């Protein structure tokens, strides 16, 4: 009898070990504004890129180390209070391991304390402001999107600044705009260039006449090169509107960073304009970008856009972290991601261990007008490497 029991116990144990183990599902919440603002186009691109990135990184299995990946979509409506509520819901009710978002820098900033409260990772994408990895941030926040300092240091380098350069700046009056101009001014320090005027306009401004006239007045009598730098998000098109006011009669040039393809149509008004960009589908040359361009054109009939690449970069970071982390515990994921490098459509990115900002290439360009292309083409002048940019450390992480 004892032998039978012992044999039965051994057989039962063998059966248990042979049985398939049900893997935990990894839930990832995409927290973006998909209603309530013209910036929803950014969100849609980012989420498309994220989904394509998961497909690429998992070889279309949507599975990592035996864990199925489930996506949860939440709409912030571009309202800070809604963003806080839906992020808390994603972590608490939905048990999301990682959240990705948001779109507006101001809205995303309101989400940072929620990540700390729930002790879960918030991967910031595509919001830009430096402050998102700054002193008010926390160890649970990582950022794949470029920050304002990367934007503006690249923008400054693209202008080849020296003592003969005089600049007036135009930006929106919130964290994205003010962080960006602060970073631009910092990048010009010690170059000899002079910022003669700073104009900040409300977020929903569509008429830039008064601000442009003030900038013209500040620049027109200056010697040397005179440039108006435009750092405005959304679809209000300040570039072509100010170009239409003929700044050239005062010898004033315009400069702006890259943008989504529909917005780049207006750049046809400024052939030869110098600027810097985070991404344009025709610039990076690597297998991941080749796949993204080919598949996006096949599925949607258009090339991938500015924020599509960002979404894919975020997904590739998540998958690598899940593959390499010793467990799904948040502390293990943080230790894996801090200092982690991974391949993206832009080439290699690295999360800086100190504040979790992704260090990445930027691209100096010159605008070319091709009648066979709907939008203006930012032709590569040169790649600006992370080592060329002095990006301030926003926060010292304590792992």
- Sequential pLDDT tens for the chain (399 residues): 433 333 334 444 433 333 333 358 999 999 999 999 988 999 999 999 999 999 999 999 999 999 999 999 999 999 999 999 999 999 999 999 999 999 999 999 999 999 999 999 999 999 998 999 999 999 999 999 999 899 999 999 999 999 999 999 999 998 888 988 998 999 999 999 999 999 999 998 999 999 999 999 999 999 999 999 999 987 789 999 999 999 999 999 999 999 999 999 999 999 999 999 999 999 999 999 999 999 999 999 999 999 999 999 999 999 999 999 999 999 999 999 999 999 999 999 999 999 999 999 999 999 999 999 999 999 999 999 999 998 989 887 665
Cα separation, 120 vs 99, in Å, equals 8
Contact residues for 71 (Cβ-Cβ < 8 A; gap 6+): 27, 28, 29, 30, 50, 51, 54
Structure tokens at 236: 């209000």
Q: Output the pLDDT for position 398.
A: 60
Q: Which residues pair with 79 in a beta bridge?
A: none
pLDDT, residue 21, reads: 36
Model pTM score: 0.88
Residues 344 and 288: beta-carbon distance below 8 Å: yes
- Chain centre distance of CA 223: 37
Structure token pair of residue 95: 């048990």
Structure tokens at 372: 């066979």
Q: How far, in Å, CA of 116 to CA of 121, rounded? A: 8
DSSP assignment letter at 97: S
Give the number of other CB atoms < 10 A from CB of residue 142: 31
Task: Give phi and psi for 52, each to the nearest 5.
Answer: -70, -35
- The Cα 267–Cα 261 span in angstroms is 10
Are 31 and 83 in contact by the 8 Å Cβ rule? The answer is yes
All CATH 3.40.50.2300 domain ranges in the chain, comma separated: 26-146+284-360, 149-277+363-388
| Rounded-to-integer distance, Cα 128 and Cα 249, Å | 34
Q: At what angle do helices 105-118 and 175-188 cross, to 10 degrees?
A: 100
Q: Which two tokens stand for residue 343?
A: 């391949």
Q: Which CATH number fits domain 26-146+284-360: 1.10.150.20, 3.40.190.10, 3.90.1300.10, 3.40.50.2300?
A: 3.40.50.2300
Token digits of residue 394: 């926003």
Q: What pLDDT, on a 0 to 100 scale, did the predictor assign at position 235?
A: 77
If we measure between CA atoms, which residue out of 115, 123, 130 comes closest to residue 144? 123
- Domain boundaries 149-277+363-388, CATH class: alpha beta
- SS3 label, residue 226: strand
Note whether 268 and 376 are within 8 A (CB). Answer: yes
Residues 289, 312: contact at Cβ < 8 Å?
Answer: no
Question: In degrees rounded to 5, what are phi and psi of residue 83?
Answer: -60, -45
Q: What is the pLDDT of residue 23?
A: 54
End-to-end distance of the chain based on CA atoms, in angstroms?
56
- Residue 4: the pLDDT is 38
């Amino acid at each position: 009898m004892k032998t039978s029991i012992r044999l039965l116990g051994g057989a039962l144990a063998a059966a248990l070990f042979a049985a398939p183990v049900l893997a935990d599902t990894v839930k990832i919440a995409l927290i973006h504004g998909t209603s309530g603002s013209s910036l929803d186009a950014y969100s849609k691109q980012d989420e498309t890129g994220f989904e394509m990135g998961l497909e690429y990184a998992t070889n279309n299995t949507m599975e990592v180390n035996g864990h199925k990946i489930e996506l949860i979509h939440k709409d912030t409506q571009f309202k800070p209070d809604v963003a806080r509520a839906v992020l808390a819901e994603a972590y608490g009710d939905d048990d999301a391991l990682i959240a990705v978002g948001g779109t507006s820098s101001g809205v995303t900033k309101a989400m940072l304390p929620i990540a700390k409260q729930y002790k879960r990772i918030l991967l910031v994408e595509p919001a830009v402001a430096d402050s998102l990895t700054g002193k008010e941030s926390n160890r649970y926040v990582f950022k794949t999107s470029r920050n304002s300092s990367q934007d503006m240091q690249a923008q400054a380098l693209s202008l080849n600044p020296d003592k003969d350069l005089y600049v007036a700046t135009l930006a929106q009056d919130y964290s994205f705009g003010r962080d960006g101009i602060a970073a631009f001014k910092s990048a010009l320090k010690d170059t000899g260039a002079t910022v003669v005027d700073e104009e900040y306009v409300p977020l929903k401004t569509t008429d830039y006449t008064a601000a442009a006239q003030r900038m013209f007045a500040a620049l027109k009598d200056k010697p040397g090169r005179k440039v108006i730098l435009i750092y405005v998000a959304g679809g209000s098109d300040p570039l072509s509107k100010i170009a239409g006011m003929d700044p050239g009669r005062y010898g004033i040039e315009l400069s702006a960073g890259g943008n989504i393809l529909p917005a780049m149509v207006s750049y046809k008004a400024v052939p030869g304009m110098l600027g810097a960009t985070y991404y344009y589908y025709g610039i990076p040359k690597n297998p991941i970008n080749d796949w993204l361009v080919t598949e996006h054109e096949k599925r949607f009939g258009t090339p991938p856009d500015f924020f599509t690449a960002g979404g894919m970069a975020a997904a590739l970071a998540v998958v690598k972290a899940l593959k390499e982390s010793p467990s799904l515990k948040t502390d293990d994921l943080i230790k894996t991601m801090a200092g982690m490098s991974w391949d993206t459509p832009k080439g290699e990115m690295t999360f800086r261990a100190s504040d979790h900002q992704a260090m990445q290439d930027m691209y100096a360009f010159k605008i070319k007008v091709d009648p066979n292309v709907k939008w203006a083409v930012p032709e590569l002048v040169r790649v600006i490497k992370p080592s060329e940019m002095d990006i301030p450390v926003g926060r010292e992480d304590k792992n």
